[in-house]
Structure 1
Amino acid sequence: MEPQVGSILEGKVTSIMKFGAFVALEGGGSGLVHISEIANTFVEDVHDHLQTGQAVKVLVLSAENGRVNLSIKKALPQQERRAPRPPRPAP
């Protein structure tokens, strides 16, 4: 059974590649967290943010034909998703 799009699940990082990380999901199955969906900042090396065996929360972005795309950054609470912007100078 494919995970529901939009659901937040727990998982464990099973392998790390240059382009992202594979995560084993609770209840079976697995998916890919693309490097662009790991953090709100630029990720040059996935190893700087994740380790094999690390528990993570992920949001299911898409699930079709057995391919599941996941996001760690979109599973974060709203206040952690965006870095605070500096105040604009007064005119």
Structure 2
Amino acid sequence: MQLDSGAVAEGRVTRVTDFGAFIQFDNGETGLVHISQIAHSFVRNIHDHVHEGDTVDVKVLGRDERGRLDLSIKELLEEPEEIPRPRAIGRQSPQFEAKLRSFMRDAKERTTAGGKKPTTPTKRKK
């Protein structure tokens, strides 16, 4: 079996890490599906998508400078009309923002020491 760029092949997941899944093929070659190539949506935990021992279809994207296979599962999936984005964090409460502004203003006043730069102690010669 020749695994050239653009080829689609079936392989077995041999190892899952935080950054991707390693896939082994019948010919003995192994490649990596990077976490960004697992799904069209944001993948927070790769273990939600693949597990060791799973059989998956992958597309060969190419080889890196050291000859290792660069693979994708996402390329074989139908692209959704709108890619879901991670949920944004809402605004902080007005009380928190007021306290933060007060803290920053006080910190700035303390560091400028009334407009003067803080001095550092000098060593005396003996």
Q: TM-score range by the shorter chain?
A: 0.7 to 0.9
Higher helix share: 2
- Which residue in the other structure is 1:84 paired with? 81
1:35 & 1:43 partners in 2: Cα distance? 7
| Unaligned segments of structure 2, at least 5 residues | 83-126
1:44 & 1:51 partners in 2: Cα distance? 15
Query: Relative CO higher for 1 or 2, CA cutoff 8 Å, sep ≥ 6?
Result: 1
Scaled by the length of structure 1, the TM-score of the pair is: 0.81
Deviates more, 1:16-25 or 1:62-71: 62-71
- Which residue in the other structure is 1:58 paired with? 58
Scaled by the length of structure 2, the TM-score of the pair is: 0.59
Percent of matched pairs sharing the same residue: 46
SS at 1:36 equivalent: helix
The ranges of structure 1 where at least 4 consecutive aligned residues each deviate by more than 2 angstroms after the TM superposition are: none
Larger Rg: 2
2:81 & 2:76 partners in 1: Cα distance? 18
- Which residue in the other structure is 1:45 paired with? 45
SS at 1:69 equivalent: strand
Higher strand share: 1
Mapped contact 1:15–1:23 kept (Cα < 8 A): yes
2:37 & 2:76 partners in 1: Cα distance? 10
| Unaligned segments of structure 1, at least 5 residues | 86-91
Q: How many residues align?
A: 81
- Which residue in the other structure is 1:23 paired with? 23
